[in-house]
Amino acid sequence: MAKFVISKRSNGNYEFTLKSSNGQVILTSQEYTLLTACENGIDAVRRNCKALRRFELKSIDENQYYFNLKAANGQVIGTSVMYNNALSRDNGVAAVMSMAIPASVEFVQI
């Protein structure tokens, strides 16, 4: 089962990742100064992940593809890992769309 992993960084800030059932990171958040803000970020992923229009598909060159998940106000909620082709990136979008809502939440300290 997929899970959100909230990490407390050495600088005291928090971030979350969405990991697939095989442990691969699909989406990473920005850093948050407060744990509650990080948890709100996870809620924002869950609210926005079903709308394909919230995913901004990007590429750096023909071998580096990624996506951003954005809130209704245009703010980036999370950024994907780099993929080496557009199809893999699109599969990453589909994974977020299907896995984010039922994903559990786990807290780890780094």
Tell me the residue type at 92: G
pLDDT at 110: 63
Two tokens, residue 69: 């998940």
CATH number, domain containing residue 34 = 2.30.29.80
| 50 close to 97: Cβ distance less than 8 angstroms | yes
Q: How many domains, in total, are found in the chain?
A: 1
Helix ranges (DSSP H) in 25-107: 35-48, 86-99
The pTM for the full model equals 0.93
Edge-to-edge order in the sheet of strand 14-19:
55-61, 64-70, 76-80, 25-29, 14-19, 3-8, 104-109
pLDDT at 22: 93
Per-residue pLDDT of the chain (110 residues; tens, 9 = 90+): 999 999 999 899 999 999 999 999 999 999 999 999 999 999 999 999 999 999 999 999 888 999 999 999 999 999 999 999 999 999 999 999 999 999 999 998 76
Two tokens, residue 2: 């997929």
Domain containing 61: what range?
A: 3-109
